[in-house]
């Protein structure tokens, strides 16, 4: 199982939100590049980088942060937040992103999202499947659709998607444990998907439980920044 630390960016700084609420923002570090280098030095290979300003603006805002990390480290960066156009996708890859994550766009403009899969390949585009009560949530989780989570993943897997980041909105940022049972169910239904668990991780035991489910990776955010999981513990996976 890959441990994938998360860096969320607002105004060029590392922050974390609670349940996606911009009003519940906590700053952790002024330099995302310095933070990324810490992860790299610990032996971690991947990074989940989210442009929260971009998510609001519906276009990439913090491209300088992406470029500084891809040029200043060897981390494989998956980038998301505000990627809503062909131009933004091309820009993110030009700036060194290894993969791109699309969530709302996959619901609101499936034709465009499918064109990215066709152009860049199912290994380069990650499906962001954020769920609230097993229904897909979009637009920074402000809108819950009637789309079933597992059906949504199945549909895009059939269209060539290999990687899915699944966040249970009810767990995110609360440090109360991840939705392990939900991830088990997804993998039972779609065993060949590379599922990346996100949200709720609070301690090493959570990572051990997730590893048993067979998820491809787990995103760790607040648990690291709040000192509940150390770099060494993350690197051990």
Please tell me the total count of domains within the chain: 1
Of the candidates 66, 62, 60, which has an alpha carbon nearest to the alpha carbon of residue 84? 60
Choose, from 130, 168, 172, 206, the residue flagged as catalytic. 130
CA atoms of 123 and 142, how far apart (whole Å) = 28
| Cα R_g (the chain), whole angstroms | 16
Q: What is the pLDDT of residue 78?
A: 98
51 carries an active-site annotation = no
**How many other C-beta atoms can be found within 10 angstroms of the C-beta atom of residue 82?**
23
> For position 165, which CATH number holds?
3.20.20.70
User: Residue 135 pLDDT more than 70?
Assistant: yes
User: Residue 15 pLDDT more than 80?
Assistant: yes
> What average pLDDT does the structure give for the chain?
93
Dmax (CA) for the chain in angstroms is: 43
Residue 169: pLDDT band (50, 70, 90) is confident
Residue 75, token pair as written in the block: 């981390």
Q: What is the pLDDT of residue 155?
A: 97
**In terms of residue numbers, what domain contains 135?**
2-235
130 carries an active-site annotation = yes
CA atoms of 88 and 54, how far apart (whole Å) = 10
Average pLDDT of span 104-124: 96
Choose, from 8, 51, 78, 172, the residue flagged as catalytic. 8
First and final C-alpha spacing in the chain: 7
Q: What is the pLDDT of residue 171?
A: 74
């Amino acid at each position: 199982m890959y441990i994938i630390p998360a860096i969320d960016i607002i105004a060029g700084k590392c922050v974390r939100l609670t349940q996606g609420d911009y009003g519940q923002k906590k700053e952790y570090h002024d330099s995302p590049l310095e933070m990324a280098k810490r992860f790299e030095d610990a032996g971690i290979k991947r990074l989940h980088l989210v442009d929260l300003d971009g998510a609001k603006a519906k276009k990439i805002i913090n491209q300088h942060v992406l470029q500084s990390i891809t040029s200043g480290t060897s981390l494989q960066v998956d980038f998301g937040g505000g990627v809503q156009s062909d131009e933004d996708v091309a820009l993110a890859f030009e700036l060194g992103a290894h993969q791109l994550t699309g969530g709302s766009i996959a619901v609101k403009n499936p034709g465009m999202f499918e064109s990215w899969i066709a152009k860049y390949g199912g290994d380069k585009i990650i499906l962001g499947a954020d769920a609230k009560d097993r229904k897909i949530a979009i637009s920074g989780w402000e809108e819950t659709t009637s789309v079933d989570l597992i059906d949504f993943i199945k549909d895009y897997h059939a269209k060539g998607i290999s990687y899915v980041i699944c966040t249970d909105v009810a767990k995110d940022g609360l440090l109360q444990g991840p939705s392990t049972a939900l991830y088990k169910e997804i993998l039972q239904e779609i065993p060949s998907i590379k599922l990346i668990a996100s949200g709720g991780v609070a301690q090493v035991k959570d990572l051990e439980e997730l590893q048993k489910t067979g998820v491809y990776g787990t995103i760790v955010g607040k648990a690291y920044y709040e000192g509940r999981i150390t770099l060494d513990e993350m690197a051990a996976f």
